Amino acid sequence: MALKATIFKARLGIADMDRSYYADHAATIARHPSETDERMLVRLIAFALHADEALAFGKGLSTDDEPDLWRRDLTGAIDLWIDVGLPDEKRVRKACGRAREVYVYSYGGRGAELWWTQNADALNRIRNLTVIDLRYPAAMLAALAGRNMELQFTVQDGRIWMTDGTGSVDFQPWTRQAPARS
pLDDT of residue 1 exceeding 60? no
Note the pLDDT tens digit of each residue in 49-87: 999 999 999 876 656 778 999 999 999 999 999 999 999
Q: What is the pTM for the complete model shown? A: 0.94
Mean pLDDT, the chain, integer: 93
Measure the CA–CA gap between 31 and 105, rounded to whole angstroms. 18
Please tell me the predicted confidence (pLDDT) of residue 123: 96
Exposure string over 62-100, b if 16+ CB within 10 A, otherwise e: eeeebbbbbbeeeeeebebbbbbbbbeeeebbbbbeebe
> Taking CA 118 as the corner, what is the angle to CA 41 and CA 32, rounded to the nearest 5 degrees?
30
Query: d(Cα 7, Cα 79) in Å, to the nearest integer?
Result: 27
182 found inside a domain = no
Domain residue limits at 170: 7-177
| 148-156 vs 159-163, strand pairing mode | antiparallel
Give the per-residue pLDDT at 28.
92
Tell me, yes or no, whether 36 lies in a domain.
yes
Is 115 contained in some domain? yes
Q: Return the CATH number at 162.
A: 3.10.640.10
Angstrom CA distances, 30 to 41, 47, 147, stand at 12, 14, 11
What's the structural domain count of the chain?
A: 1
Residue 1 lies in a domain: no
pLDDT tens profile 116-143? 999 999 999 999 999 999 998 888 888 9
159-163 and 21-31 beta bridge pairing? unpaired
